[in-house]
Amino acid sequence: MAKPEPRARTVLEPLSYFNLSEQSRAPVRSLAISNVSDSQCLIYLGTQFGGLFLFSVDNKDLNAASASDPSNSPSVPQSIKFVRNVLVGNSSVDYIHVFGEIGKLLVLLDGFLFLVDSLLLQPVKKLSFLRGISVITRRLRSSESECSNLSEGAGSSSEYTSTSQRFLKKLGGGIRANGLKMKESTQHRVGNHVFSVVIGKRLILIEFVLSNRVGKSDQDIDDGSFVILKEIPCIDGVMAMVWLNDSIIVSTLNGYTLFSCVTGQSGVIFSLPDVSSPPRLKLLCKEWNVLLLVDNVGVIANAHGQPVGGSLVFHRDPDSIGEISSYVVVARDGKMELYHKKTGRCIQMVTFGGEGVGGPCIVADEEDGSGKLIVVATPTKVICYRKLPSEEQIKDLLRKKNFKEAISLVEELECEGELSKDMLSFVHAQVGFLLLFDLHFEEAVNHFLQSETMQPSEVFPFIMRDPNRWSLLVPRNRYWGLHPPPAPLEDVVDDGLMAIQRAIFLRKAGVETVVDDAFLLNLPSRDDLLESAIKSVTRYLEVSRDKELTPSVKEGVDTLLMYLYRALNNVNEMEKLVSSANSCVVEELESLLDDSGHLRTLAFLYSSKGMSSKALAIWRILARNYSSGLWKDPSSESSSHCGGTNIISGKETAAAEASKILEESSDSQLVLQHLGWVADINQVFAVQILTSEKRDNQLPPEEVIAAIDPKKVEILQRYLQWLIEDQDSNDTQFHTIYALSLAKSALESFEAEVASKILDPVRREETSISEYRTSAIFQSPVRERLQIFLLSSDLYDPEEVLDLIEGSELWSEKAILYKKLGQEALVLQILALKLEDSEAAEQYCAEIGRPDVYMQLLDMYLDPQDGKEPMFKAAVRLLHNHGESLDPLQVLERLSPDMPLQLASETILRMLRARLHHHRQGRIVHNLARALDTDASLAILEERSRHVQINDESLCDSCHARLGTKLFAMYPDDTIVCYKCFRRQGESTSVTGRNFKQDVLVKPGWLVTR
């Protein structure tokens, strides 16, 4: 069974009431209301003794109604005005149906229908052609597409004359649906004025048609006629009826049955138990459904009788049922209850009379289901209720701290189209502020984030006191005034704690207060609340950064985020924010970060704003004072294991951040100013600065070379290498400087290598450390780099470099330089005698390409000079590889008598064999060439000796004309054309389209075929 919610909200409030005892003591039996205009509503009340009363309510009272209990009549404005009344008959008025658009009422009394005008000014007219009516209902349509036109169906049969119609009336049978059709020329149908009545076991469908005929029949009533559209067999004992679209649902003690007004077929929806309360039906016009009552349970079904949604369980079997907006209203025993259609919850319970009200309570609502009025009548009084505006309902819930229910209500109204999406965002923001002042900061920010209309500037006053740079950006007076004005978070926490203490004191004194008991049981400390507040507001501003904001608001968001991070001492987030694209205002943060010692963060901020000079100055200070309190690196502090590691890491981090700035700077003065201290810490960073491609304009090479410390040779070499190789510099000065620098380093490296062989282990370790550090810039040895450069470049001065290394043992480098200078003999001496690299010497001879060079190299092998032994193996290798290039006689003349006979004979034999081999190879090539020439001549001869026989039947392959004695031509692919086609085709392209100049026709010669 449904129970009223402990935190039920107010949906209906009493608008006015009227004491019926002043006009009539007859009990009320029927009730109906009709909106005449936006400013007036009419109430019709039928009594037990046939009286029909008319009351009027001014809709302007909707805005000034009191919310007091209607049971205390002096507190409720008596704005229901009695207009007039008429006596319809002597028995109970069972039904009142209002046709407001034509100003007519249909009243059912004692089995007869009576037609009354809406203002009760004209005489009551009895419709005597229908009698014995037990139930009446009006047809309502959800849409034109869902309804059939019954008038067209009625018009498909033959027309009746006025006499035959009067005759059927006298028989009491009414006007049969199969027999009546008013002429189109005499009819003017307006709106939906169709209703149905139940007479015994007959269900009769009738339409009230306005007529503009000059001559009126006996049925004409105020320019209108009643047309019986159809008669359908019904069941006995009908107690209630609803007509929606093409479906008519009737109720009896046995259950509910659905009839089709088009086909007349019927079907049982469901049956009722033997012992149950009287069945009731209520048309729910807002969703166009029907409520079927089974005892105290309401089943909602559609027009086809299919259940939709859930059931409504009432407290008791109601006397009457109404509808207003999304709620179903039931009344009984002086109480009225509101149930939500979708959730089935009892939203509100209103008491308007005691248990002894003296009879049933009747509820009437506006026919469209979306009205704002509902009227309840008891035997002694009439009470008018209005639906509280949605905003007022929401405000009431917010005042009671029912935030979840308030949001649910707004979402529900937004889905139903009663409120806009902006209002949902508005309420989320309002709830967020209320929660914030109740110290529920995390929940408050959750609602802020769900609001699409709330501006980030609205939280600025909670962070920085007014006045400030962004005071004018804060929206004013945008909410319902349910919360205090914005104040700094410290004040919010203090005021909130004071309010809690006050509530606790009042509760102990017996005063009921709206306080969260769970929050009171686990009340955090002031520091915890303040930290939670700062973290929550920080989260909101972090999300707000991704929104489309104006530049001034962006500045406020980022700057105040820095204030919050500073309050939390969240250095990582501070540095992350200022290191990325941001809108922080430097003037607002300079003193804050400087005073708090967050110099790293300040340096990042300067860098992000293009203030490179200030940023570099801070990094330089940090690098020099890494061991003092100025240096704070949370990452290194948490991961370090020793002080030395921290020092190195701190200095390198400062240099790394400075290098990032310098890599993008085109200010040569600034770059060279800070290059020195960065290079002292890490030479790799210095190289990255000088060789960066990120800057718009490269640094002047002359100034850079002059600024580099001469002791830091590796930096100079790497910079020159970048100029030459990556920047394609053709300046001979740079090439020469680079070559000389590499040569000096190579000399030092060679001398150090020689000296290291005789040094003690300590010095050897130091040397290895130095080499290791150098390898951070260059991965290859210096001599290798020198040799590669000397070979690849032609722009340096080889003589100058040669002068530098002339007295050294750098023979490979000397060979390259002598080669550049064209000193062939010196190159061969170095390669053959100093380096003893026979392969390189022979390759050099091959590059020169003269035979005498090989003989010169052989002389060097056989007579090395300087007291060295002859290099017979190298000489033999030379003769073996290049003997064909040497004259055997000259070789024999130069062979040394001291050379072993075995080596000499073998060498001479190889030379002779090579000579014979080359001679025979030449003869073979010569003979092959002659054979190819003979083959070509033979092919030409065969082509010239070819002949073709033409007779009278021969045709041109192009125009297909007979050749006869005409001139003709034959192509290499044996196609024949007349001379005319030959002139058109040309001599290179045949009829087949083959171009013999581009696609040569090759025929195998005699060398292949034979």
**Which pLDDT does position 760 carry in this prediction?**
57
**Are 904 and 933 within 8 A, CB to CB?**
no
Flag whether pLDDT at 275 surpasses 80. Answer: no
Instruction: Using the predicted structure, report yes or no on whether residue 256 has a pLDDT greater than 90.
Output: yes
Most confident of 802-806, 846-850, 973-977: 802-806
Greatest CA span in the chain, whole angstroms? 165
Share of the chain above pLDDT 70, in %: 83
In the predicted model, what is the mean pLDDT of residues 40-49?
A: 91
The confidence score (pLDDT) of residue 997 equals: 81
Which pLDDT value is given to residue 470?
93
Q: Could you report the per-residue pLDDT of 392-413, keeping only the tens digit for each?
A: 989 989 988 889 989 988 998 8
* Cα(45)–Cα(642) distance, integer angstroms: 96
pLDDT number for residue 522 = 80
Reading the block at residue 481, the tokens are 């005034």
In this prediction, residue 356 carries a pLDDT of 57
Say if residue 213's pLDDT is above 80: no
**pLDDT for the residue numbered 633:** 53
Q: What is the mean pLDDT of residues 96-115?
A: 90
pLDDT at site 1006: 54
Q: What is the DSSP letter of 194?
A: E
pLDDT at 171 exceeding the cut of 90: no
> Is the model's pLDDT at 156 over the cut of 50?
no
| pLDDT score at 199 | 94
What pLDDT is recorded for position 220?
44
Is pLDDT of 252 > 90? yes
Residue 222: the pLDDT is 55
CA distance 36 to 44: 12
Please, which pLDDT band fits residue 176 given cuts at 50, 70 and 90? very low
pLDDT at 219: 39
Looking at residue 147, its pLDDT comes to 85
In the prediction, which pLDDT does 17 show?
82
Q: Which residue has the higher pLDDT, 828 or 172?
A: 828
Q: What is the pLDDT of residue 772?
A: 39
Q: Report pLDDT for 792.
A: 93
Mean pLDDT across the stretch 249-274?
A: 92
Nearest-CA neighbor of 83 among 137, 120, 110, 108? 120
Three-state DSSP at 205 gives strand
Asked which of 353-362, 446-455, 544-553 is least confident by mean pLDDT, the reply is 353-362
User: Of the ranges 216-225, 318-327, 637-646, which one carries the lowest mean pLDDT score?
Assistant: 637-646
Is residue 742's pLDDT more than 70?
yes
Determine the pLDDT at residue 940. 81
pLDDT at 568 over 50: yes
Angle between helical axes of 526-544 and 489-508 (0-180°, round to 10): 130
Please check whether residue 165 is in contact with residue 219, taking contact to mean a CB–CB distance below 8 angstroms.
yes
pLDDT for residue 6 = 46
- 3-class DSSP state for residue 465? coil
Give yes or no for residue 390 having a pLDDT over 60. yes
| Distance between start and end Cα atoms, the chain | 115
pLDDT band at 7; cut points 50, 70, 90: low
Per-residue pLDDT averaged across 270-275, rounded? Answer: 85
- How confident is the model over 847-900, as pLDDT tens digits? 888 888 888 888 888 888 877 888 878 887 887 777 667 777 677 677 767 766
pLDDT of residue 68: 40
Q: CA 207, 210, 212, 218: dihedral to nearest 10 degrees?
A: 60
Q: What is the pTM for the complete model shown?
A: 0.68
In 906-987, where do the E strands start and end? 968-970, 976-978
φ and ψ of 9, to 5 deg? -100, 165
Greater pLDDT, 814 or 1007: 814
Q: 94 and 29 in contact (C-beta within 8 Å)?
A: yes
* Confidence (pLDDT) at 161: 36
Mean pLDDT (whole number) for 732-740: 94
Mean pLDDT of the chain: 83
Say how far apart CA 444 and CA 403 lie, in whole Å: 11
User: What percentage of the chain has pLDDT greater than the value 90?
Assistant: 46
Mean pLDDT of 528-557: 95
Q: What integer pLDDT is reported at residue 184 of this predicted model?
A: 39
Give how far Cα 531 sits from Cα of 90, 439, 493, 524, Å: 79, 11, 10, 11
> For every residue of 330-349, which 3-state class applies, written as one string?
EEECCEEEEEECCCCCEEEE
Residue 499 has what pLDDT? 87
* 668 has pLDDT over 70: yes
